[in-house]
Chain A
Amino acid sequence: MTTAQPPVSAERLAVLPPLPRDEEGPVFDEPWQAQAFALAVKLSEQGHFAWTAWAKALAEELAAAEARGEPDDGSHYYHHWVSALERLVVERGLSDAAALEERKEAWADAYRHTPHGQPVELARRE
């Protein structure tokens, strides 16, 4: 039987949304979802965090989104996945928030300065 009740208030119970449904669609809707998925699996496989720690981090992101009033119909699931991944990567000292932000800006800059038809690459870092 069930081992844990979800944190659901009576008020929320009254306004539970209808279930989203799907046919057996694609596994990932966008390339970044596949990349984020594979990164979490691989980092866990390599012992950077246990999968239980991953499940806990993801559950916390999902719960936080609901607490902000953003109950998810499942379509933003991988956004929460990425937030959990960033948090664990920083917590486990694999990188830090400033380095990730800087790298993100570097990629954005690379896209803005790469002509159409050429591969987007980061400039050599000093």
Chain B
Amino acid sequence: MDETGERPVDRRGFIKGSAVGAAAFAAPGKMMTDRTDEAEVHAADAHEHDHGHDHGHDHDHDHQDVPSDIALRVRALESVLIEKEMVDPAALDEIVDNFENRIGPQNGARVVARAWVDPGFRDRLLADGTSAIGELDYLGGQGEHMKVVANTDSVHNLIVCTLCSCYPWPTLGLPPVWYKSSAYRARAVIEPREVLREFGLDLPEDVEVRVWDSTADIRYLVLPQRPAGTADMTEEQLAELVTRDSMVGVARVASPSSGGGR
């Protein structure tokens, strides 16, 4: 089934809502907009012989809407594992909270800005990404082994994970939808120039494109080129210019005079 047409729910609401046993999925109209869901619920209700409901009007039911099948599968996994004390619900909430609120491309942007203003840091970053990023304390799960690759006038780097979705979480957060798509995973290595063109980056033929295939063991981060017109900017101001896409390699960092990145 496809929930993607629905409005994303409020981020903060998620964290609270993920508490086990809470009626997190019962927002009226939320889970019942999918036709497949309705069909499933009707089929399930048909087994409830003591129910006197009008099955044509789900929202008038005096009980709660049943979540989608996939949500129930996750709920089942979670409650079984918590019951067996294999996971701690508070620890689960903390992981989600971290990714929703604290870990994201702003971390990678600070690494890039530091490299732009501090040549010594830049050298260390390119020689041993893991230890240099560790200086800024942005290591952690799925970022234990980092390799940073620098764009130059003659080389442009692009990051992909052809097999799944390996991505440097501590510096970039979780990957965007397109990074996880079949199309990007296949095409980034087959026709990287065309992929970059679709992202609005038309590279001259004399610029070499290097594609880096991430794995569970090593993650890459692109060090984009510092744009023109930024000589007077502070490290903090520079970090504001650096976008997620530029650190994956599907964009350049725009000069502030040209409107900046998004």
| Contacts from A to B (Cβ < 8 Å) | 1-6, 8, 12-13, 16-32, 34-39, 41-43, 45-46, 48, 51-52, 54-56, 58-59, 62-63, 66, 71-79, 82, 85-86, 89, 94-95, 99-101, 103-104, 106-108, 111-116, 118-122
CA distance A17 to B185 in the complex (A): 11
Whether A111 lies near B182 (C-beta < 8 A) is no
Given A38-B95, A75-B2: A19 and B14 interface contact (C-beta under 8 Å): no
Partner of B180, one of A3, A56, A72, A113: A72
Whether B163 lies near A59 (C-beta < 8 A) is yes
Whether B71 lies near A75 (C-beta < 8 A) is no
Whether B174 lies near A100 (C-beta < 8 A) is no
Whether B182 lies near A73 (C-beta < 8 A) is yes
CA distance A4 to B162 in the complex (A): 8
Whether B177 lies near A75 (C-beta < 8 A) is yes
Whether B26 lies near A29 (C-beta < 8 A) is no
Given A17-B182, A121-B21: A100 and B80 interface contact (C-beta under 8 Å): yes
| Chain A contacts for B163, CB-based, 8 A | 4, 6, 55, 59, 62-63
Whether A2 lies near B8 (C-beta < 8 A) is no
CB of B167 to closest CB in A, whole Å: 11
CB of B48 to closest CB in A, whole Å: 7
Residues of chain B from 50 to 107 with CB closer than 8 A to chain A in the complex:
62-81, 84, 86-88, 91-93, 95-96, 99-100, 105
Chain B residue with the shortest CB-CB distance to A104: B76
Interface check B173, CB cutoff 8 A? yes
| Chain B contacts for A114, CB-based, 8 A | 23, 63-64
Whether A86 lies near B79 (C-beta < 8 A) is no
CB of A96 to closest CB in B, whole Å: 10
Interface check B131, CB cutoff 8 A? no
Partner of A20, one of B8, B72, B166, B181: B181
CA distance A112 to B187 in the complex (A): 45
Identify the 10 closest CB pairs spanning chains A and B, nearest first: A74-B177, A74-B181, A71-B182, A55-B216, A103-B76, A59-B163, A104-B76, A32-B71, A38-B95, A38-B92
Given A6-B186, A120-B64: A73 and B181 interface contact (C-beta under 8 Å): yes
Partner of A108, one of B72, B87, B105: B72
Given A12-B186, A16-B186, A104-B75: A1 and B177 interface contact (C-beta under 8 Å): no
Whether B181 lies near A31 (C-beta < 8 A) is no
Whether A39 lies near B198 (C-beta < 8 A) is no
Whether B181 lies near A42 (C-beta < 8 A) is no
CB of A115 to closest CB in B, whole Å: 6
Whether A115 lies near B63 (C-beta < 8 A) is yes
CB of B149 to closest CB in A, whole Å: 11
